Amino acid sequence: MTRSRLFTLLQHSTCLLCLCLLGLCSINVSAQLKFRIEGHIDNTHAKPSKNDVGDSDIIVLNFGNLVRKDTVRIHNNAFHMEGEIPYPSSAFIEYKYGGNLILLDSSSYLFTLVKKDIDSTHATYEQEIKTKSTFHNTWEKFYDNKAKLVQERNQLNEAAQHTTNPDSALYYAFAIKAANKKIVAFYHQFAADHPNSYIAAYILVGAPDFSYANYMDVYSSFSDNIKNSYYGKNFYSRMIASKDDKKEEQAKTEIAQTAPGMFPVTNTIDTALNKIVLDKDFFSKHKYTLIEFWASWCGPCRKLNENLKKMTASFKEKDVELVGFSLDQGSEAWKIAMINDKLPWLQVSDLKAVDSPLAQYLKLGVIPANVLVDREGKIVRTNIYEGELEGFLKGVN
């Protein structure tokens, strides 16, 4: 056995051990799925630049459901990756300017990056994945069809905003309601068409009506293997998080009543499921607290976390507490991303994703985003990054 092959086996064994410690490995590891990725970079359609993706650059396969990162270097504008996974898995193929989601099973994948000029001074890389993977192609087809339904609904919303006729406004109100019901029905039909499947467990947590009441029957139909996988655990934790609607409405009401400019009292949990309340008592322990909003599925957020790690000594020296607030839908993806990225600061979440009352109160349209809070719980800055953040830290006495 070669030294590199031995290292690969040891690396995968270590990843499996991490999963078991997290309680995420209740899978029959003897039935491994083998995937293969062939990558190609085409820089011939645009002007050459020293910043081109090319030889010696690193490609990272960053798994979303496993504590694992595979890496390879580009050689002759190509790369090759292969490996084994315990069950169908999601990952990001990351390169220095971006990334692309890929769903892996026992299949081969052709991944291409083609550089295209935007104008005389700017270029971009277009990505494409070709595969016969049922897992990947079912997901891609689902979101293509969903996008059409969402576009129809958004067109109705836009038309409704521009009408002044009462009858037209009433028509659009009914039409929008019907369009939303159509999207919900689309998810339910997908559940019916893909019973007891990993792809259903992966996709359905994004349903607009996802809740314990609406999807417990779907969860109950999953096999033990699916229930004990990342997807099953994530599915279950999302249902539990949405189970108590009264508490959720109470939280929304309390946040809505917060005085302008103040950080609302927010009930969260950490990755060990301990209750953490973000309130005046919490903020009073430090000069400032920087709340960084991120999610496991947000590539730019993950890269930003790497930059923040380099600043941890400065935060500590200036008595600035750094807190990560995850906008993930379930605890499993959040835990795995935190372990993969080796984040040393406090991590909290309300597991509400984009429906988080806090995210809505702060009107977070995109992430990464952050707020800087003083001892009194007052929001003093928003979206403070890079040079602005460094300048602020230097000015803290």
- Per-residue pLDDT averaged across 152-156, rounded? 94
pLDDT for 252 equals 59
Clarify whether residues 349 and 252 are in a common domain.
yes
CATH number of the domain within which 277 lies: 3.40.30.10
Domain match, 80 and 20 both: yes
Average predicted confidence (pLDDT) for the chain: 86
* Closest C-alpha among 157, 167, 227 to residue 197: 227
Residues in CB range of 266: below 8 A, 6 or more apart: 251, 255, 277, 278, 279, 350, 357, 358
Q: What is the pLDDT of residues 106-152, one digit of tens each?
A: 999 999 999 998 887 888 889 999 999 999 999 999 999 999 999 99
The mean per-residue pLDDT over the stretch 25-30 comes to 44
For residues 329-347, give the mean pLDDT: 85
What is the spatial distance between Cα 64 and Cα 237, in angstroms, rounded to a whole number?
16
Q: How far lies 315's CA from each of 278, 377, 394, in Å?
A: 19, 18, 10
Q: Are residues 319 and 297 in the same domain?
A: yes
Q: Are 151 and 251 members of one domain?
A: no
Percentage of the residues of the chain whose pLDDT score is greater than 90: 51
Residue 389 sits in the same domain as residue 249: yes
CA 256, 257, 259, 265 dihedral sign is: negative
Q: What is the CA radius of gyration of the chain?
A: 23
Residues 294 and 341 in one domain: yes
Domain boundary among 241, 262, 287: 241
Of 182, 207, 241, the residue that ends a domain is: 241
Contact 247, 338 (CB under 8 A): no
Predicted confidence (pLDDT) at residue 389 exceeds the cutoff of 70: yes
Q: What is the pLDDT of residue 360?
A: 85
Per-residue pLDDT, 188: 97
pLDDT (0 to 100) of residue 20: 44
Q: Identify whether residues 253 and 389 lie together within a single domain.
A: yes
CA distances (Å), origin 311, targets 147, 303, 323:
39, 14, 13
Tell me the mean pLDDT in the region 370-388. Answer: 91
> What's the CA gap between 257 and 377, in Å, rounded?
15
Any idea what DSSP says for residue 162? T
pLDDT at residue 9 tops 60: no
C-alpha to C-alpha distances, 184 to 249, 296, 308, nearest whole angstrom: 21, 25, 39
Q: Considering only residues 42 and 269, tell me which one the structure prediction assigns the higher pLDDT.
A: 42
Asked whether residue 293 carries a pLDDT value surpassing 60, the answer given is: yes
Region 175-179: mean pLDDT is 94
Residue with tokens 């277009």, as numbered in its chain = 126
Task: Identify which has the larger pLDDT, 195 or 23.
Answer: 195
Q: What is the pLDDT of residue 151?
A: 94
Asked if residue 391 and residue 276 are part of one domain, the reply reads yes
**pLDDT over threshold 90, residue 393:** no
Q: Give the integer Cα–Cα distance in Å for 69 and 306.
A: 15
| C-alpha separations of 344 from 92, 159, 193, 256, 339 in Å | 23, 47, 42, 32, 9
- Check whether residue 26 and residue 107 sit in a common domain: yes
pLDDT at 288: 94
Domain containing 328 equals 245-395
Q: Is the pLDDT of residue 13 over 70?
A: no
| 219-267 pLDDT tens trace | 999 999 999 999 998 898 878 776 655 555 565 566 666 667 889 988 8
Share of the chain above pLDDT 70, in %: 88
Quote the pLDDT of residue 5. Answer: 37
Q: Given the structure tokens 């898995």, which residue do they identify?
A: 89
Residue 6 in this model has a pLDDT that exceeds 80: no
Shared-domain flag, residues 117 and 144: no
Q: Are 218 and 192 members of one domain? A: yes
- On whether the CB atoms of residues 52 and 37 are closer than 8 A, the answer is no
Looking up residue 20, the CATH number of its domain turns out to be 2.60.40
Instruction: Please report the pLDDT score of residue 49 as a whole number.
Output: 85
- What does the pLDDT read at residue 4? 37
Of the candidates 297, 369, 387, 312, which has an alpha carbon nearest to the alpha carbon of residue 343?
312
Q: Quote the number of domains for the chain.
A: 3
Domain boundary among 190, 217, 241: 241
> Is residue 26 predicted with pLDDT exceeding 70?
no
- The verdict on 249 and 233 lying in the same domain is no
Instruction: Give the least confident one: 27-36, 61-70, 173-182.
Output: 27-36
Residue in 83, 91, 11 with CA at minimum distance from that of residue 296: 91
pTM here is 0.70
pLDDT at 296: 86
